[in-house]
Amino acid sequence: MIANATVTANPLLIGKGLPPFAAIKPDHVVPAMTQLLAELDQELTTLKTTVTPTWQGLVEPLDRLAERLRWSWGIVGHLMGVKNSPELREAQETVQPNVVQFVNKLNQSQSLYQAFKALRDGEEWSNFEPAQKRIVEAAIRDAELSGVGLEGEKRDRFNEIQMELAELATKFSNHVLDATKAFSMTLTTPEEVDGLPPSLKSLAAQAARAAGEENATAENGPWRITLDFPSYMPFMQHSTRRDLREKLYKAFVSRASSGELDNNPLIERILELRQEKAKLLGFDSYAELSLASKMAPNVEAVEGLLEELRQASYDAAVKDLEALKAFAATKGAEEASDLKHWDISFWSERQREEKFAFSAEELRPYFPLPQVLDGLFGLVKRLFSVTVTPADGQAPVWHEDVRYFQIADETGTPIAYFYLDPYSRPAEKRGGAWMDECITRAKIMEVGTTSTRLPVAYLVCNQTPPIDGKPSLMTFGEVETLFHEFGHGLQHMLTKVDYPGAAGINNVEWDAVELPSQFMENWCYDRPTLMGMARHYETGEPLPEHYYQKLLAARHYMSGSGMLRQLHFSLVDIELHHRYQPGGDETPVDVRHRLAKTTTILPPLPEDAFLCAFSHIFAGGYAAGYYSYKWAEVLSADAFAAFEEAGLDNQEAIATTGQRYRNTVLALGGSLPPMDVFKAFRGREPSTEPLLRHSGLVGVS
């Protein structure tokens, strides 16, 4: 699958196939998007006058139009995440308002909206497949949520809000990236790096070299510690210097909360605009607007689930902290009776090492990336009968470290492809890990012949890069992250739906979309899977059995605290979008501190500005939807329980169950409501029991 060899004058205007990344420059963005939007605007005008309420006369031409926009603008969005630069930012900010304007115009077209309603009420309807019906119903709902019913001043105001919200989200995200990049701590003496593992010293010396310290070495320094996660987290876990941990922690939690990069006013404005938008559409709160297109029926149902999980995890989290204090006391730590936030990771890691007799660092040599990929690909072959093979060189890439792979079915026929961008690049790549669509599966009709366009996914992680001649050695957490993102990728790539509007993750309710990703994480603890990939990168020796047993034992370690942390974020998110009144007596920070009383064991510090870096809800798609992680985790734990019931060591039963999972959860995409898809796989509605059991919290509450 090779991109066109001949690139038109502007590579962002090709409109199909793999993006020619090597040819794309920031200065292509403005002319390409300006030309494209003018052409699409013309097409839209024509379509509005010629539209007929049929699949061919409405849905297909709209798909083609949306596809061209998604292709070009999608590349810009992707590069903003993986190859950010001042030039690209400026270009993106220049054209974003025009894109938002066009999307509003498209979503608010009365003639298209009426055509969709006529299609739903027409004769063709009874012959439609479920996927087609879902696409039409979603189009009607989305038009209504996009203000199609508004007129005059209300519509103008709605469009102004959409425009400003898009700008604020980009600004918020850039502030977080810049604030993360702006802080660093250069250490020069052995005392300052006491306790740090060799892998972090190597990374920190590499960072120092990149910053101009040409002679920096892992042994002698200087060492540069940053707020980038592969640097920040190991430092917090291993540095014996409490003063430096405090400094780093405070820098991390106060990112983007002061000076030119202050996100506080942006948060206030975003919440105000979202509320105004919800009211314009006839909702009492933005949370209600958000849930109108999700699986959860209402705010009460969301808060009910979160409260059930909170009660199951709160007491466990209290015990976690007490146990940690007692442990620190046995080690003669002065701070034992009064552990601070910057002590938790350090003492948790010490206690984990002693309790389970291993550290996260010790396992790294057993998880070199190439081997982990072999293990992951072996698992999907075992479960879903698909084969993953490298296809490097067959696709243009945006960075030399990016890999390209092919997925083939049982007969060896290619069915999908994906890019993998595994390593952290703090100067140009945003933190975290994500999956995104490059190309969506669809039936394409060209010159009288029909063909299936194969899906292509972007999988992006931020793990430790290869250093000093060693491969990328992963922590077990990084292994879980890779499995997680690959789960998203599988839903995108193994879809059997041929309508782009419901293929893969499209049209899957947001709070069900984490099911396949969280499902995959469970396999990291499955013996054949783990033992199949964990081998020492130098000696080839398999992971010793005692490590496997300890990993299993450590799985529930502090899981009450881990769950409570997620519930804290979720409840703050819902509260800010449901009951909070902008300009009232409380600030967003006050709301967080009020909820922290029942959702944290150590209350946040006064300078903790976590909300200022909470990109998920202020710059991503999780507004009034952060609960989705827990909602979907109930589904994913229950889905994995089906494999446990079949018998994890019964290969035949696993393959049969895997085929059923592939044919339902992965294949059906957004063609059916997620509850119907879940019931098609499981034969019943989901239960919270497997999640509490997998978290070691059954019987705790």
Same domain, 318 and 244: no
Same domain, 16 and 145: yes
The answer to whether 346 and 356 have CB atoms below 8 angstroms apart is no
Has residue 86 been placed in a domain? yes
CA-nearest of 138, 144, 58, 129 to 501 is 138
| Boundary of a domain, candidates 593, 626, 659 | 626
Q: What is the pLDDT of residue 431?
A: 87
pTM to 2 decimals?
A: 0.88
* Separation of alpha carbons 465 and 422, rounded Å: 8
Q: What is the DSSP string of 320-375?
A: HHHHHHHHHHHTT-GGGGG--HHHHHHHHHHHHHHHHS--HHHHGGG-BHHHHHHH
Same domain, 26 and 138: yes
The answer to whether 155 and 163 have CB atoms below 8 angstroms apart is no
The answer to whether 250 and 607 have CB atoms below 8 angstroms apart is yes
Residue 457 phi/psi, 5-degree rounding, is -115, 155
Same domain, 92 and 203: no
Q: What is the pLDDT of residue 447?
A: 84
Same domain, 226 and 277: no
Residue count of the chain: 701
Same domain, 66 and 195: no
Q: What is the pLDDT of residue 395?
A: 97
| Boundary of a domain, candidates 577, 606, 626 | 626
CA-nearest of 636, 666, 656 to 494 is 666
Has residue 277 been placed in a domain? yes
Has residue 688 been placed in a domain? no
Q: Report the number of distinct structural domains present in the chain.
A: 3
* Separation of alpha carbons 328 and 318, rounded Å: 16
Q: Which of 303, 478, 485, 514 is catalytic?
A: 485
- Please state, as a whole number, how many other Cβ atoms lie within 10 Å of the Cβ of residue 683: 9
Helices (H), 545-627: 545-554, 559-578, 588-599, 615-618
- Classify residue 605 by burial, with Cβ atoms within 10 Å: 0-12, 13-18, 19+: middle
pLDDT tens string 451-499: 999 999 999 999 989 988 899 999 999 999 999 999 999 999 999 999 9
- Please state, as a whole number, how many other Cβ atoms lie within 10 Å of the Cβ of residue 450: 9
Has residue 140 been placed in a domain? yes
The answer to whether 484 and 406 have CB atoms below 8 angstroms apart is no
Q: What is the pLDDT of residue 9?
A: 87
pLDDT tens string 139-152: 999 999 999 999 99
pLDDT tens string 103-136: 999 999 999 999 999 999 999 999 999 999 999 9
Same domain, 82 and 26: yes
Q: What is the pLDDT of residue 663?
A: 98
Residue 485 designated active-site:
yes
Has residue 461 been placed in a domain? no
Same domain, 20 and 145: yes
Terminal Cα distance for the chain, rounded: 53
CA-nearest of 127, 28, 132 to 75 is 28
Q: Which domain holds residue 239?
A: 183-255
Same domain, 218 and 272: no
Residue 224 phi/psi, 5-degree rounding, is -110, 115
Q: What is the pLDDT of residue 258?
A: 96
Q: What is the pLDDT of residue 359?
A: 82
| Boundary of a domain, candidates 233, 255, 277 | 255
Q: What is the pLDDT of residue 699?
A: 58
Same domain, 286 and 304: yes
Has residue 279 been placed in a domain? yes
Instruction: Check which CATH number belongs to the domain holding 305 and give it.
Output: 1.10.1370.10
Instruction: Check which CATH number belongs to the domain holding 108 and give it.
Output: 1.20.1050.40
Same domain, 73 and 97: yes
Which parts of the chain register pLDDT below 50? 1-7, 700-701
Has residue 341 been placed in a domain? yes
* Separation of alpha carbons 232 and 413, rounded Å: 43
The answer to whether 349 and 461 have CB atoms below 8 angstroms apart is no
Same domain, 66 and 107: yes
Nearby residues of 45 by Cβ (< 8 Å), 6 or more positions away = none
Longest C-alpha distance within the chain, in Å? Answer: 80
Has residue 111 been placed in a domain? yes
- Please state, as a whole number, how many other Cβ atoms lie within 10 Å of the Cβ of residue 225: 27
